[in-house]
Chains A and B, each alone.
Chain A
Amino acid sequence: SQQGEEDPQALSIQEGENATMNCSYKTSINNLQWYRQNSGRGLVHLILIRSNEREKHSGRLRVTLDTSKKSSSLLITASRAADTASYFCATEFMNRDDKIIFGKGTRLHILP
Chain B
Amino acid sequence: DVKVTQSSRYLVKRTGEKVFLECVQDMDHENMFWYRQDPGLGLRLIYFSYDVKMKEKGDIPEGYSVSREKKERFSLILESASTNQTSMYLCASSLPQLPGELFFGEGSRLTVL
Query: What is A's interface to B at a CB cutoff of 8 Å?
Result: 3, 30-31, 33, 35, 40-45, 48, 50, 88, 90, 92, 97-105
Contacts and interface: CB of A to CB of B under 8 A. Distances in A.
Interface residues of B, number: 26
A112 to B, nearest CB: 26
A104 B90 CA distance: 15
Interface of B: 4, 33, 35, 40-45, 48, 56, 58-59, 90, 92, 98-107, 109
B106 A42 contact: yes
Contacts of B90: 42-43
13 contacts: A40-B109, A41-B107, A42-B106, A44-B104, A45-B103, A88-B42, A88-B43, A92-B99, A92-B100, A98-B100, A102-B35, A102-B43, A103-B42
Contacts of B48: 99
